[in-house]
């Protein structure tokens, strides 16, 4: 009995301890929420009336790298997260059939070149025949004038000259056709070489691979996507502001971005876009009062220099606060001032 009583007492103490821990955790969470709310309230109260702000997300321009011609992917040397230089190989397509067509076009070009040479030789020979026929006709005309040959002989020489000239015209036409055939074969070879070069898909810009759309062995149609890249020099932060505030913004005005990951480092930006039409506020705009109103989308664009400098630390989807001045003549508050302000 004593052992049973001791066991019950231990269990009661354990349950009491767990209950106290749970109550403490709830109290700590409530305290954190209260502290966070107080901090947010104090920060908003510290902002001057000419500064508007809203929470938002960092976004990077996505570039889809696609194949120009349909084919089977035989190599895909990149992986998600890889940082690529402009022109780096992203994927390769099977080019065996294209190379067979290139060989056929090269053979056709050789035949056309041989035909061009034959046509040239025939044209040279016909030119010689024309000169000889003209010489004989001239001599025959002189002899006819002197009464030494008949009119029939002179006419025969005339017909021989006409025939030689017709042969020369035909040889020149054949020479033109041969030259056109060579040019056509050269164009076909150049086209196939271009298509073969396009089967090696390269990065159009320096950036990071966001994700691979396909895997090795996939057969893609023309325009099929291979990977998606993020442009590290085209970074912007999207916020939503009510009409009275959005209407006072000017494109190109200075802005500031404070990311949750780097709360003490305001990032300089500029107003790059203000929507002309209002829309319902996205869910990630947290306050109930802002959700109840139609808002205008505002894009805060980072300059390429700032984007390049911070690209190793910035990632698409990072949350934070965007700040804009409704009166550009007023200075930024101390906490949002960047170097040089």
Query: What is the CATH number for 305?
Result: 2.40.30.170
- Is 323:300 a contact under the CB 8 Å cutoff? no
The tally of domains found in the chain comes to: 2
CB within 8 Å of 332: residues ≥ 6 apart: 51, 254, 256, 325, 338, 341
> Where does residue 83 rank: exposed (0-12), middle (13-18), buried (19+ CB within 10 A)?
middle
Residue 289 pLDDT greater than 90, yes or no: no
Tell me if 279 is assigned to some domain: yes
Residue range of the domain that includes 111:
95-198
Q: Specify the pLDDT at position 294.
A: 76
DSSP 216: T
CB within 8 Å of 253: residues ≥ 6 apart: 270, 271, 324, 325, 328
> Where does residue 316 rank: exposed (0-12), middle (13-18), buried (19+ CB within 10 A)?
middle
pLDDT digits (tens, 9 = 90+) for 302-330: 999 999 888 888 888 899 999 999 888 88
Mean pLDDT of 200-205: 94
Looking at the fold, whether 183 and 240 belong to one and the same domain comes out as no
d(CA 317, CA 58): 5
Sheet arrangement for strand 219-220: 200-202, 89-93, 71-75, 219-220
Residue 201, Cβ neighbours under 10 Å: how many?
22
Looking at the fold, whether 188 and 99 belong to one and the same domain comes out as yes
pLDDT digits (tens, 9 = 90+) for 7-59: 545 455 555 555 545 555 444 444 444 444 444 444 444 678 889 989 999 99
Tell me if 102 is assigned to some domain: yes
Token code pair at residue 191: 């086209």
Q: Specify the pLDDT at position 31.
A: 46
CB within 8 Å of 177: residues ≥ 6 apart: 115, 119
| Confidence (pTM) | 0.62
Looking at the fold, whether 102 and 189 belong to one and the same domain comes out as yes
> Where does residue 321 rank: exposed (0-12), middle (13-18), buried (19+ CB within 10 A)?
buried
pLDDT digits (tens, 9 = 90+) for 93-152: 999 999 999 999 999 999 888 888 887 877 777 777 878 878 877 887 787 777 777 777
Pick from 255, 257, 230: nearest CA to 315: 230
d(CA 307, CA 314): 8
Q: Specify the pLDDT at position 92.
A: 96
Tell me if 204 is assigned to some domain: no
d(CA 101, CA 116): 22
Tell me if 39 is assigned to some domain: no
DSSP 334: G
Tell me if 160 is assigned to some domain: yes
Q: Specify the pLDDT at position 330.
A: 85
């Amino acid at each position: 009995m004593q052992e049973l009583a001791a066991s019950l007492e231990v269990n009661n103490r354990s349950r009491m301890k767990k209950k106290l821990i749970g109550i403490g955790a709830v109290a700590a969470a409530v305290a954190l929420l209260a502290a966070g709310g107080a901090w947010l309230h104090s920060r908003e109260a510290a902002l001057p009336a000419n500064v508007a702000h809203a929470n938002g997300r960092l976004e990077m321009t996505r570039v889809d790298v696609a194949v120009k011609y349909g084919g089977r992917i035989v190599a895909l040397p990149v992986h998600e997260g890889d940082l690529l230089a402009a022109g780096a190989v992203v994927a390769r397509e099977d080019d065996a059939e294209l190379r067979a067509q290139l060989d056929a076009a090269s053979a056709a070009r050789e035949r056309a070149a041989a035909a061009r040479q034959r046509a040239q030789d025939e044209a040279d020979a016909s030119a010689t025949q024309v000169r000889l026929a003209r010489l004989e006709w001239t001599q025959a005309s002189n002899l006819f004038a002197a009464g030494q040959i008949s009119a029939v002989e002179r006419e025969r020489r005339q017909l021989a000259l006409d025939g030689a000239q017709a042969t020369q015209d035909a040889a020149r036409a054949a020479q033109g056709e041969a030259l056109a055939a060579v040019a056509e074969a050269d164009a076909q070879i150049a086209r196939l070489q271009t298509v073969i070069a396009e089967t090696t898909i390269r990065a159009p810009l320096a950036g990071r691979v966001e994700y691979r759309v396909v895997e090795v062995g996939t057969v893609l149609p023309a325009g099929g996507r291979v990977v998606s890249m993020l442009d590290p020099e085209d970074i912007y932060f999207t916020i939503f502001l009510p009409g009275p505030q959005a209407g006072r913004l000017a494109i190109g005005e200075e802005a500031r971005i404070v990311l949750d990951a780097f709360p003490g480092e305001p990032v300089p930006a500029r107003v790059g876009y203000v929507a002309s039409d209002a829309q319902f506020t996205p869910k990630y705009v947290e306050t109930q009062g802002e959700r109840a109103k139609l808002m205008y989308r505002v894009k805060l664009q980072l300059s390429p220099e700032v984007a390049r400098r911070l690209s190793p630390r910035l990632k698409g989807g990072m949350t934070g606060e965007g700040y804009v001045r409704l009166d550009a003549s007023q200075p930024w508050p101390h906490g949002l001032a960047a170097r040089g302000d």
